Amino acid sequence: MSPLVAAVGLSWLAIVLLALAMAGLLRQLRDVQAALRVARPAATGEPVAPPSVRPASGEELALVLLVAEHCGVCEVVAPAFAAVAARARSGFGFVLLAADAAEADRVGAHTGGAVVRVVGDPVAYHRLDPGWL
């Protein structure tokens, strides 16, 4: 194989790899744009918080702990969140929110039965998720 053929072959390989990388970046950009569309309130004045995490009747505010799938930190933070909920004055709601009910129940078991609502709601989770841990 001549050096010229090898150089042309490597150049084409580099072009293909760059095209695949650009396609991956474009897909991630579209995912971020879709997430921002979900998180942004509607022009009609719809509140950002979906009904599943809004304060319950008699509560002024609701503090929401987002729980991600396979998150080791969430299992450590959940008991502390429950301890704060147990000491809080009335009028505050505490919600543990995950994208699915199974994950909410799994991490909710670490709260020790404190006054924490455990919610598995994918729409609410994606609407409130900032995109980082």
pLDDT digits (tens, 9 = 90+) for 50-66: 777 777 777 788 888 88
User: pLDDT-derived band of residue 44, with 50, 70 and 90 as boundaries?
Assistant: low
The tens digit of pLDDT for each residue in 88-128 reads 877 788 888 888 888 777 777 767 666 788 888 888 888 88
Average pLDDT, integer, range 1-10: 91
Q: What angle do CA 62, 66, 72 make, to 5 degrees?
A: 140
Q: What helix, strand, coil percent values describe the chain, rounded to 5?
A: 55, 15, 30
DSSP for residue 129: -
More confidently predicted of 45 and 54: 54
Q: Structural domain boundaries of the chain?
A: 1-40, 51-128
